[in-house]
Structure 1
Amino acid sequence: MSVDVLERRLENERQVAEAQSRSHDRWPDLLQVAGLDEQYLRLKRNGPCPFCGGKDRYAFTDKYGDGSYYCRGCGGGNGLKLLSVVFPEKTFMQRVRWVLESLGAGLPESPVRPRSADAPRRSGEPMSKEEFARRKARHVKLWNEARRISVGDPVWKYLTGRLPELDPADIPAVLRFHPALPYWEKDEDEKFVLVGKFPGMVAAIQGPDGVCCNIHRTFLTEDGAKAPVSSVKKKELSLEIKGGAIRLYAPTSRELSVAEGIETSLAVRVFRRETCWSMVDAGGMEEFDFSVLDDIDLLRIYQDNDLPDSRGVRRGFQAGEKLAERAKAMGKRVIKYAPAKAGTDMLDFVRSLPKRS
């Protein structure tokens, strides 16, 4: 056996072991994220088998937290085998890497898992369990209605319109294409009315624990332009969890980059080859929860140099400064990147920086 083959085998074994460890007790979430029909995830209830088609032979048991199932007709297996139902084109190792990518990116699709009652909340009146469940159900519904971005769809057209250099391989799983996002606005009586439905991009905002706490939406047209609405970018009704981010990629070292917008963060990936998370907006950058940075030594901040608002406040720039101060106070190394000229488009700024490979 050649050295290359041996090294590849050892690396595959390492990845399988890591995937099994990381995915323990998270398979219901992972499988729903992947797109497996919920009828196959009803715990210990007999139903149709996704493999052999038997009417009532199959049961999802998840007995050891490994996504296990058993069918009286064709036998049993685990979550990695169930993934082949929705990813028939993927090899075993490709499914393993999908698991690692999803979990490394914070498993945005985990909203189906009930959150503990002592989960962090914003100050103020606590949200009722009923309202929390209602909002979470909205998130799950939106996410499940969306699908992976593919070349030629409206989201692809939008992203490559802003970033022509984008490669399909750089599209993270935390971004999806929704074919018909409902857009609501208040009328003169302060009642919400449906303006219309638009294709759009949905992005999972993960809280400090890696569980989805909100969905960010970008409303588009079929040709990838911004939709003719008053607010092209909106967050869904929040679960009121502070400190979240759109974790576009899993860190592969002890370094992490952050920026406000999704497009800027993708540009950092394309031109700088860095793992970059989107903070969504200035508020998100200010509130970013540092508990997720325990394994990070160096934080790179791509900082807006925005024009002052009517009160003279430069919210984006100040948010970056506050984040840098907090990171330094924790003993992290910080490198800040900001345009010299106020009002410079951040994507253009990132494009102008020295390329990294």
Structure 2
Amino acid sequence: MNDTQVGGESKPKAEDLAYDNWPDILTRAGMDSAFFSGRKGPCPFCGGRDRYRWKKDYGGVWVCNGCGDGKFQTGFAMLMQLRGYRHFWEAADHVREHFGGFAPDPVVLAARREAAPSREEQHKRNMRRMVEIWEASRPVIDNDPVHRYLQHRVPGLTIAPRMIRLHPALDYWAPPDDPNEKPVLLGKFPAMIAKAFDPGGAFVQLHKTYLTAEGRKADVPMVKKNEKGIGINGFAVPIMEVTGDTLGFAEGIESALAAAMLRQVPVWPCLNGPSMAAFDLPTKLIGKVKRAMIFEDHDELKQVAQGRDAPPRYRRAGSHYAAQLATRLRAHGVRVMLVKAAKAGFDMADYWEQRHKRDLTPA
């Protein structure tokens, strides 16, 4: 028996009914419409500040870097959490009831699905865009916006990072207030571009930090963005060559550079917590790297709810992600050291900046 056959009675397929209609379905089910704006914000289930986002791709999906560990989930998963459904068929029947048991116009539905690219086609488009952005960028030179930005964030920086470039005028698209409208172009900005690779050495992601000509963060809703990518969750930017038996990892580019200055070892940024959790020792470094240092962001999370019957959860986001990477590294026989700033709310870049200012202050 499948979802469309119950007791011999044929039902409309819930996936077809819900396709591109999730905001309306979920709003009527009790979800606030603000959660479908496409902008980063607090998760409806675990809170936070900017860990959640809704995307119209593939008929409507959502991602939370907290309770969802950065993995995209369907509207069905949201509906089941929202209403406390324990079985998929309950959510499927909810969708059918929403439509009165009838599917949308089949001609309209077929045209919509025909126009939507497959996941493979979308990933190819995403890769083409990443390559175009990278090829339009140029190496960082003294006093350009990227150089100035890194000197601001990691004062006294003497490392010239690899796989980091300047795009002189990258367009910034903001999600519209109405999820049914098109994104809005806010302008073109200098941007720091970072090229990220998976453990096998394949180019899979591009990170963007929007700047001003003076090397400060641009006045845009989200200064740092990843491209849509090609469906790979674990990646890092090899900003330093590994010449010895030690390699460090951090979440952000600035934190990685600061950690490298502090400990005098190469450190690679994974760009965010979920990517760090999903990364692994690069294939070409297995057997060469004997020791790893993971620099955690010291960002405590408050108590977060997990649903009607689940107990609240407590954890530190940085430690949570670092622990998963540590487990993978230890499986290769690598000795792992976990390092974080003593002060809550600090990452290694914050610690380095504070220490640098202290060292320059006359006694």
TM range (shorter): 0.5 to 0.7
TM-score, normalisation: structure 2: 0.59
Q: Is the counterpart of residue 189 in structure 1 residue 191 in structure 2?
A: no
Q: 1:149 to 1:339 in 2, by over 3 A?
A: same
Which of 138, 148, 154 is matched with 1:163 structurally? 154
- The amino acid of 1:192's aligned partner reads P
SS at 2:187's partner residue?
strand
Cα contact 2:340–2:347 (8 A) shared by 1: no
Report Cα offsets for 1:110-133 as digits up to 9, x if no partner: xxxxxxxxxxxx898996442222
Q: 1:276 to 1:194 in 2, by over 3 A?
A: same
Q: 1:291 to 1:223 in 2, by over 3 A?
A: closer
Distance (Å, rounded) in 1 between the aligned partners of 2:183 and 2:72: 26
Report Cα offsets for 1:62-106 as digits up to 9, x if no partner: xxxxxxxxxxxxxxxxxxxxxxxxxxxxxxxxxxxxxxxxxxxxx
How do residues 108-187 of structure 1 correspond to structure 2 at under 5 angstroms?
Answer: 128-167=119-158, 170-187=159-176
Report Cα offsets for 1:181-202 as digits up to 9, x if no partner: 1111121232212111111100
C-alpha displacement of 1:143: 0.3
Which residue of 2 is the match for residue 289 of structure 1?
Answer: 280
Which of 187, 212, 217 is matched with 2:208 structurally? 217
- The amino acid of 2:202's aligned partner reads V
- Bigger Rg over Cα: 2
Cα contact 1:201–1:219 (8 A) shared by 2: yes
| Greater RCO, CA 8 A, separation 6+ | 2
Percent identity, aligned pairs only, is 36
Distance (Å, rounded) in 1 between the aligned partners of 2:279 and 2:335: 16
Which residue of 1 is the match for residue 340 of structure 2?
Answer: 338
Distance (Å, rounded) in 2 between the aligned partners of 1:173 and 1:299: 20
CA RMSD, 1 decimal: 2.5
SS at 1:256's partner residue?
strand
C-alpha displacement of 1:310: 6.0
Which residue of 1 is the match for residue 60 of structure 2?
Answer: none
How do residues 46-65 of structure 1 correspond to structure 2 at under 5 angstroms?
Answer: none
C-alpha displacement of 1:244: 1.1
Number of positions where the alignment pairs a residue of Structure 1 with one of Structure 2: 231
C-alpha displacement of 1:315: 1.3
Distance (Å, rounded) in 2 between the aligned partners of 1:189 and 1:124: 21
Q: 1:315 to 1:124 in 2, by over 3 A?
A: closer
Report Cα offsets for 1:239-288 as digits up to 9, x if no partner: 11232111111210121111111011112233322111001111111001
- The amino acid of 2:322's aligned partner reads G
- The amino acid of 1:220's aligned partner reads L
Q: 1:291 to 1:157 in 2, by over 3 A?
A: closer
Which of 246, 250, 256 is matched with 1:265 structurally? 256
- The amino acid of 1:234's aligned partner reads K
Cα contact 1:165–1:270 (8 A) shared by 2: no
- The amino acid of 2:171's aligned partner reads P
Q: 1:127 to 1:174 in 2, by over 3 A?
A: farther
Distance (Å, rounded) in 2 between the aligned partners of 1:229 and 1:202: 16
SS at 2:299's partner residue?
coil
- The amino acid of 1:150's aligned partner reads I
- The amino acid of 1:244's aligned partner reads F
Cα contact 1:258–1:278 (8 A) shared by 2: yes
SS at 1:290's partner residue?
coil
SS at 1:243's partner residue?
coil
C-alpha displacement of 1:210: 1.3
Cα contact 1:301–1:320 (8 A) shared by 2: yes
- The amino acid of 1:296's aligned partner reads V
How do residues 28-67 of structure 1 correspond to structure 2 at under 5 angstroms?
Answer: none
SS at 1:265's partner residue?
helix
Q: 1:331 to 1:134 in 2, by over 3 A?
A: same
Distance (Å, rounded) in 1 between the aligned partners of 2:322 and 2:196: 19
C-alpha displacement of 1:314: 2.1
Structure 1: segments with no counterpart, 5+ residues: 1-121
Cα contact 1:242–1:289 (8 A) shared by 2: no
Cα contact 1:174–1:203 (8 A) shared by 2: yes
Distance (Å, rounded) in 2 between the aligned partners of 1:268 and 1:332: 19
Which of 194, 202, 207 is matched with 1:203 structurally? 194
Cα contact 1:135–1:237 (8 A) shared by 2: yes
SS at 1:289's partner residue?
coil
Cα contact 2:276–2:321 (8 A) shared by 1: yes
Report Cα offsets for 1:10-66 as digits up to 9, x if no partner: xxxxxxxxxxxxxxxxxxxxxxxxxxxxxxxxxxxxxxxxxxxxxxxxxxxxxxxxx
Cα contact 1:205–1:247 (8 A) shared by 2: yes
Q: Is the counterpart of residue 304 in structure 1 residue 297 in structure 2?
A: yes
Which residue of 1 is the match for residue 220 of structure 2?
Answer: 229
SS at 2:143's partner residue?
coil
SS at 1:150's partner residue?
coil
Distance (Å, rounded) in 1 between the aligned partners of 2:334 and 2:260: 21
